Structure 1
Amino acid sequence: MPTPTLATPHEADRPHARFETWALAAAQLVSWGTIYYAFSLFVVPMESAMGWSRTATNAALSAGLLVSGFAAYPAGMLIDRGYGRRVMAGGTLLAAAMLVLWAQARSLPTLFIVWGGLGVAMAATLYDPVFAVVTRDFPRSYPRKITLVTLVAGFASTVFIPLTQGLIGWFGWRAALLALALANLLVCLPVHGFVVGRGAPNEEAARRTTAREVSRASARNALRSPVFWALAVCFTAYYSTFVALTFHLIPLMSARTVAPATIILTMAAIGPAQVLARIVWFAIGRHARAARVAIAVTTAFPCSVAVLMCAGTSAAGLLLFAIVYGGANGMMTILRGTIVQDLLWTEGYGAVSGLLSTPANIAKGIAPIAGAAIWAIRRSYVPVEWTVLIVSLLSAVACVVAVRLAAKRTRRAD
């Protein structure tokens, strides 16, 4: 399936490429920490101060995730056309403005407006846009650079959860939100506004004359490709089950009467497992084919769910679950940024990636509510666990199908 191409500058001619990668990684750490991970820490203080229900506040988060899904494709199209700097800088400004508005919120409609804006900001600043920027700017070394970005950003929860909790305790939740807005302006805005590559003016002007057509053609070709649809099923099934299980993991273990210390140990192990998996990939990833890693990762996730189902209240069993579960997700983040280029193509990556992200992000928004609805049928997490297991197995099967279809297409081309 032919795909139009654009001329791309040789990476050796790009000055300060290493600095740009590290700067993007630092900005991702702050963006994830301030926009995404901080939310759960504000729920209880908001409930106490405003009297809002937990259902209502989480509905605002779900609305933001849904908006993020719908905004992913337009953001990717703009990045393909050479507007990565404007997209990411604009997303940072929007994120800061929404955090400031959140700090002034006195009613639930305001909170929903905030998360609608933060949904757009997430689509413009988090992994998908930075993956598109890195792929576009570094077509020869994007896998290693994406791995580095996700490795650094993997510490976002480690850094910002205690930091944000401290800010709330010291200054109150409204002042803490203002501090997070300031972090976006001081760290992310300079990176996204000045560090994101733009290329030489003449070259960039030449690229933009055909970038729209290339991006649209890539999107059309993707929609006609069985490989794309297999990947869409794979990522949508994976992220829906991962998010559903993540949001319900603590109540699930509590319903089993797992000891509080064991619950804390299990939750604490997930983050380091993600980072460790990314370190392993960073060290040996250049020697491994993304397709093989994809099958291993998507298989590891349902294996972790099976371990969880069999673990009962065992601390050892739950710790094993956390390690496999966290490790699988740590590698999936990198895989999400590299598998598209490996199985499809790099041209128009922003648009293709945005198309893939749309159903996955929508599923993320629906998953926590869907998990709660399944639990409510019998007021038991056993049906939830079985649903997560079955859907995660579907993700693994879809990944195998995508890899085989891509290999078959390559053989025909040869």
Structure 2
Amino acid sequence: MSASTETAAPQTRGGGSHGRRIVAALAVTQTIGYGVLYYAFSVFLTPMARDLHASNAQIAAALTLSILIAALCAPLVGRMLDARGGRALMTAGSLLGAGAVLAWSRVDSLPQLYTVFALMGVACSMVLYESAFAVIVAWYDGNERGRANGILALTIVAGFASSIFLPLTGLLVEWYGWRQALVVLALIYGVAAIPLHALVLRSRAHTARRRAEIVKEATRRRPFWLLVLAFTANGGAVAVVAVLLITYLIHLGHSPVLAATLAGLLGVLSVTGRLLTTSLQTRLPAALIAAVIFALQGVAALLLPMIGRTVPGAIGSVLLFGLGFGIASITLPHLLVGRYGTAAYASLSGRIAAFSVADKALAPLGAVALAQAVGYTWVMGGVAVACATAAGALVAYHRV
């Protein structure tokens, strides 16, 4: 169904050595991008609140704003990726991201902070996973194995972003203070991402004739909206667990060290889940694989309040939930390309991201309010319902 044509030489279309260079370059830029533009924020929370004379909640609202802006920009960015490819867009996003981090180091008030993070949200929509996946999907058009392996390699490497940049940022803040630490991070990101996006990625020439038809037809049909429901529900559930797991484990009576250790397993387990899912996709329908894993996550959320007060129970529940922690990012591209082809991939992915990314920003806020009102057990119940909803939507998607 793809209506795109590559400007690259025919022998490199769909893979080749340059395809591997693209994947390697994006693996580097995604790791640094997520580390600098997202994960590092938690390290700066306390020193920023102190220096700006603001509460932690007021500072944290900046990150929520950034994620919501990224969600709003996702459909437009998707259309631009389909129309012109990723080179110019991701290069411009890298410039904007590095500049926003530099500006972040100079903020003196909450309005300035929120303005900077609004710009950072625009940059994130241009340079993070959704854009990187679109580049890989386009390059490996017609090469399903190459596309799956490329996305898997990218997500495995980028999965270590928090493991690298949380301790690195902590050291930089300790050595130089939070403002100078941000300058260093901006330079790291800019020096790596700008030239890699500009020099390694390939632009594409397209025909828009089929793309608009594909998007119009897809968004009028039930399967697309089942995907929206599935990945929005699961994305919100995963975001809630990522934000509240340590707090809840401590609430259940575990030490902060054990709680943090178990939460840290989620990143490792996401790699395991992605490897397992990619392997199974060669033999089983991807939608059903994801549905089973999402359902198991729901079971884990229900079990945690019941057995989580014991160490084995907490470990088992976290392990079960963690297996599905990263599979959405590799399953959605597979499902979209399998049903709609590659010509409108980024446009359709961007429309789904508008819902799923917004839910990732808002769901933890709702979960915190629910926990304060009626307790964490109800929050875990809500996570289970969201996971079950996602699983049911994918089963329905497979049947239509």
Scaled to the shorter chain, the TM-score interval is: over 0.9
- SS of structure 2 residue aligned to 1:328: coil
Identity among equivalent pairs (%): 28
Could you tell me how far apart the structure 2 residues matched to 1:82 and 1:189 are?
A: 18
Number of residue equivalences: 393
**1:327-369 deviation digits (Å, cap 9, x = unpaired):** 2012222113322112433221010000111011111121121
**Aligned twin of 2:77:** 75
Counterpart of 1:395 (choices 379, 390, 395) is 390
**Aligned twin of 1:305:** 301
Counterpart of 2:140 (choices 138, 141, 148) is 138
**Aligned twin of 1:164:** 169
**Aligned twin of 2:237:** 241
**1:52-79 deviation digits (Å, cap 9, x = unpaired):** 1111112111111111111011111111
Does residue 1:273 correspond to 2:269, yes or no? yes
Does residue 1:222 correspond to 2:218, yes or no? yes
**Aligned twin of 2:109:** 107
Could you tell me how far apart the structure 2 residues matched to 1:331 and 1:47 are?
A: 35
Could you tell me how far apart the structure 2 residues matched to 1:265 and 1:4 are?
A: 45
Could you tell me how far apart the structure 2 residues matched to 1:11 and 1:245 are?
A: 45
Is the CA contact (8 Å cut-off) linking 2:133 and 2:151 kept in structure 1?
yes
Could you tell me how far apart the structure 2 residues matched to 1:168 and 1:332 are?
A: 33
**Aligned twin of 2:346:** 350
Report the CA distance between 1:189 and its aligned residue: 1.0
Report the CA distance between 1:263 and its aligned residue: 0.7
**Aligned twin of 1:173:** 178
Could you tell me how far apart the structure 1 residues matched to 2:322 and 2:246 are?
A: 15
Aligned AA for 1:156? A
Does residue 1:381 correspond to 2:382, yes or no? no
- Report the RMSD for the aligned CA atoms in angstroms: 1.9
- SS of structure 2 residue aligned to 1:313: coil
Segments of 5+ residues of structure 2 without an aligned counterpart are none
Is the CA contact (8 Å cut-off) linking 1:34 and 1:160 kept in structure 2?
yes
Could you tell me how far apart the structure 2 residues matched to 1:4 and 1:337 are?
A: 14
Is the CA contact (8 Å cut-off) linking 1:227 and 1:343 kept in structure 2?
no
Report the CA distance between 1:155 and its aligned residue: 0.9
Report the CA distance between 1:218 and its aligned residue: 2.2
**Aligned twin of 2:126:** 124
TM score, norm. by length of structure 1: 0.90
TM score, norm. by length of structure 2: 0.93
**Aligned twin of 1:231:** 227
**Aligned twin of 1:191:** 196
Segments of 5+ residues of structure 1 without an aligned counterpart are 406-414
Aligned AA for 1:152? V
Which one is further off, 279-288 or 230-239? 279-288
Could you tell me how far apart the structure 1 residues matched to 2:260 and 2:91 are?
A: 37
Report the CA distance between 1:287 and its aligned residue: 4.6
Could you tell me how far apart the structure 2 residues matched to 1:339 and 1:45 are?
A: 43
**Aligned twin of 1:324:** 320
